[in-house]
Chain A
Amino acid sequence: MITLTHFLLVSACIFCIGMYAVLAKRNAIMILVGIELMINAAILNFVAFSKYDKTNYGGQIFALFAIVLAAAAVAVGLAIILNVYRHFNTINPKNMHELKD
């Protein structure tokens, strides 16, 4: 029997993997992948919780909108990373030091 707890555990694990990718990876595209994992963990949570929200399915609708917004954010992020590659010839955020205190 798969209960709500299982869904929450899986989503917490996905969130942590995504967070790890964001903090540890040295490639902007891998960071975007990590962000995508974090967003999908939240979406899984929303869908799992909306089973208990019988009246207006707020969670399902939220999940749909979150998917669309995540896609838009990733599209913009990839365009910006492409532009960065043209200027720096690298997409490792740690190699960029034009702006600092």
Chain B
Amino acid sequence: MNTALTNILDQIINSVPLFKPELALITGFVISIFSSLFLTKIYKHSTYITTLLSLIAVGYLLFDQIGQTATGFSESWIVDPLSSYARIIIVLSAFVITIFIKHRHSCNNGDVYSVLLAAVLGTHVLSSTSNWLLAFIGIEMVSIASYILVGYFSKNKIQAEAAMKYALFGSVCAAVMLYGLSLVYGLTGDLNFEATAHLQGLMDAPELIVSLALLFVFVGIGFKLGFVPFHVWTPDVYQGAPTSITAFLSTIPKVGALILFARLYRSWSSTDFYFSELLEWYMVVVAIATMLIGNLAALRQQDAKRMMAYSSIGHTGFLLMAIYAYQDSAAFLFFYISAYVLMNLAAFLFIDQLEQRTGSTAINSYAGLGKKMPILFTAFSLVCISLVGLPPTIGFMGKLMVFSALFDFTGAYDNTAVILLLAVGALTSVISLFFYFRIPLYAFLRKSEDHAKQRIAPNTLLYVSYAFTILLIFFGLFPSFLIDLFN
């Protein structure tokens, strides 16, 4: 008994180095709470500085982990290229979002940074585990932190309503997922979804109960990823939340949930039990429905943030397609994820700039502004081109790589599903042209009513968004820089 205990302790102590970036995050979280309590009176931006410093420390520790492949804490914590790159993307976008929040909500915001760090910790957990317990903790950490972020600044009815809808819908989805997980645990007696005991338990169980349990589990993951039919919260919450928080919601939680889903799909679809086949068809149907509904519903939106919400649903469908084709090399998956994160952050930064100028996020309020702000709207149009997926931008390269990965994948499998996916993917890209291009259409070709001459004063966020636009073009012309990083 004693030797077993020392063995376990040794194993835990040996796994601690794998957990360094998260330990840094936890330390940063605690310090930022204390600094928002005590140091804010001395120096106004102390919490902001603390958060940025801890994110830099996390990034530094993550760079040490690149290329490492190891498991720790009795195989529940996985460090591999998939998790390392995902966490680097998460930390970089958290860095940008911290700056974004600081510039938009400069007073009374100390706790927002610590909640943001908690959300980042949750996504780290999501992206580096194959254990249902940790996956559930990660999903709940991200969800609870997001409810707080959406409701934190609530100054008007819209924001309060968005926060409540989000919290109620999210909690129901988490509860359903928990019930499904309890059934999965009962059927398998094992919480690691990559373990053979787990797969064997699922294969031996009655088909009806397995289908029901897994359907329940997908409710929770579907809520975090925002795929059909669990996407209904997305447009309301994206429109209601402050723009900086919307930028957070559309990027960070999605990356984490996506990596978890990629791991799950890869380990479950490669077995030969009946559910693998069902899972593949489920995936195809959900991806097609998500792409179609996201892009078609975006066509009739009048609000830029609501349109971006539907556009991010459409991109989720595309990412599901990428997961469907994901076998061994994750380079194309990461390329599309980083393209998606870059494009979304840039788009929300521009929407925020225009919101500062016009006080509205309605697309028709951009009418005639193209002549007054030519550089801003040229850059915004480039971001739109990238979101559609036209050359010479990163969006085009991302879509091209997903399509070609899907073609390579066709060799071994039945073709109908792949051809359907390819056709719908191409079709929805064409549809998306119409709603993204309404932004340059209104800006350059419509006459405006207001003749106010006031311009946007140059600020940090504007430079950040221009830098993002340049990156979009740069990686579109020279994608090998980014691909080489992920290989």
1/0 contact trace for A13-30 toward B, CB 8 Å?
A: 001001000100000100
Which one of B162-170, B276-284, B385-393 is at the A interface? Answer: B162-170
| Min distance, Cβ B471 to any Cβ of chain A, angstroms | 33
CB within 8 A of B181: which of A42, A52, A96, A101? A42
| Min distance, Cβ B8 to any Cβ of chain A, angstroms | 10
CB-nearest residue of chain A relative to B239? A99
Q: A42-B178, A72-B144 are in contact. Are A53 and B189 (CB under 8 A)?
A: yes
Q: How far is the CA of A65 from the CA of B131 in the complex (A)?
A: 14
Q: How far is the CA of A11 from the CA of B186 in the complex (A)?
A: 13
CB within 8 A of A84: which of B143, B148, B164, B185? B164
1/0 contact trace for B45-66 toward A, CB 8 Å?
A: 0000000000000000000000
Asked whether B133 lies within 8 Å of A58 as measured between CB atoms, the reply is yes
Interface SS of chain B: helix, strand, loop or mixed? helix
CB-nearest residue of chain B relative to A91? B164
CB-nearest residue of chain B relative to A45? B182
Cβ contacts under 8 Å, B370 to chain A: none
Please tell me if A76 contacts chain B, counting CB pairs below 8 Å: yes
Q: How far is the CA of A50 from the CA of B186 in the complex (A)?
A: 8
Cβ contacts under 8 Å, A28 to chain B: 164, 168
Asked whether B160 lies within 8 Å of A99 as measured between CB atoms, the reply is no
Interface residues contributed by chain A, number (CB under 8 Å): 48
Asked whether B191 lies within 8 Å of A62 as measured between CB atoms, the reply is yes
Cβ contacts under 8 Å, A43 to chain B: 178, 182
Please tell me if A9 contacts chain B, counting CB pairs below 8 Å: no
Question: Which A residues between 44 and 72 are near B, CB-CB below 8 angstroms?
Answer: 45-46, 48-50, 52-53, 56, 58-59, 61-62, 65-66, 69, 72
Please tell me if B81 contacts chain A, counting CB pairs below 8 Å: no
1/0 contact trace for B114-145 toward A, CB 8 Å?
A: 00000000000000000011001100100110
| Min distance, Cβ B151 to any Cβ of chain A, angstroms | 5
Cβ contacts under 8 Å, A87 to chain B: 154, 156-157, 160-161
Please tell me if B175 contacts chain A, counting CB pairs below 8 Å: yes
Q: How far is the CA of A41 from the CA of B176 in the complex (A)?
A: 10
Cβ contacts under 8 Å, B236 to chain A: 99-100
Q: A58-B191, A87-B156, A99-B236 are in contact. Are A45 and B168 (CB under 8 A)?
A: no
Asked whether A84 lies within 8 Å of B182 as measured between CB atoms, the reply is no
Cβ contacts under 8 Å, A22 to chain B: 172
Asked whether B151 lies within 8 Å of A79 as measured between CB atoms, the reply is yes
Please tell me if B80 contacts chain A, counting CB pairs below 8 Å: no
Asked whether B160 lies within 8 Å of A88 as measured between CB atoms, the reply is yes
> B133, B185, B235 — which one has the most chain A CB atoms within 10 A of its CB?
B185
Cβ contacts under 8 Å, B239 to chain A: 99
Q: A58-B190, A93-B164 are in contact. Are A39 and B240 (CB under 8 A)?
A: no
Cβ contacts under 8 Å, B273 to chain A: none
Q: How far is the CA of A87 from the CA of B156 in the complex (A)?
A: 7
Cβ contacts under 8 Å, A56 to chain B: 74
CB-nearest residue of chain A relative to B301? A101
Question: Which B residues between 177 and 195 are near A, CB-CB below 8 angstroms?
Answer: 178-179, 181-183, 185-186, 189-191
Cβ contacts under 8 Å, A42 to chain B: 175, 178-179, 181-182
| Min distance, Cβ B214 to any Cβ of chain A, angstroms | 15
CB within 8 A of B168: which of A31, A41, A100? A31
| Min distance, Cβ A19 to any Cβ of chain B, angstroms | 8
Cβ contacts under 8 Å, B191 to chain A: 58, 62
Asked whether B189 lies within 8 Å of A35 as measured between CB atoms, the reply is no
CB within 8 A of B161: which of A15, A62, A96? A96
Please tell me if B89 contacts chain A, counting CB pairs below 8 Å: no
Asked whether A69 lies within 8 Å of B137 as measured between CB atoms, the reply is yes
Asked whether B178 lies within 8 Å of A66 as measured between CB atoms, the reply is yes
Asked whether B179 lies within 8 Å of A38 as measured between CB atoms, the reply is yes
Asked whether B164 lies within 8 Å of A81 as measured between CB atoms, the reply is yes
Q: How far is the CA of A76 from the CA of B118 in the complex (A)?
A: 14
Please tell me if B147 contacts chain A, counting CB pairs below 8 Å: yes
> A35, A42, A49, A74 — which one has the most chain B CB atoms within 10 A of its CB?
A42
> B148, B171, B176 — which one has the most chain A CB atoms within 10 A of its CB?
B171
Asked whether A45 lies within 8 Å of B164 as measured between CB atoms, the reply is no
Cβ contacts under 8 Å, B183 to chain A: 45
Asked whether B164 lies within 8 Å of A76 as measured between CB atoms, the reply is no
Q: How far is the CA of A8 from the CA of B185 in the complex (A)?
A: 13
Cβ contacts under 8 Å, A18 to chain B: 175
Asked whether A77 lies within 8 Å of B167 as measured between CB atoms, the reply is yes
Please tell me if B483 contacts chain A, counting CB pairs below 8 Å: no
CB within 8 A of B171: which of A35, A53, A88? A35
| Min distance, Cβ B238 to any Cβ of chain A, angstroms | 10
Please tell me if B333 contacts chain A, counting CB pairs below 8 Å: no
15 contacts between A and B (CB under 8 A): A28-B168, A35-B172, A42-B181, A49-B186, A49-B189, A58-B185, A62-B182, A65-B137, A69-B174, A73-B171, A76-B148, A77-B147, A79-B151, A80-B147, A83-B160
Apart from the given pairs A77-B171, A96-B164, 20 other A-B contacts in the complex at a CB distance below 8 Å = A28-B168, A31-B172, A35-B171, A35-B175, A38-B179, A42-B182, A58-B185, A66-B136, A69-B174, A77-B167, A80-B163, A84-B160, A84-B161, A87-B157, A87-B160, A93-B165, A98-B161, A99-B236, A100-B236, A101-B297
Closest 5 interchain pairs by CB?
Answer: A45-B182, A38-B175, A49-B186, A42-B178, A42-B179
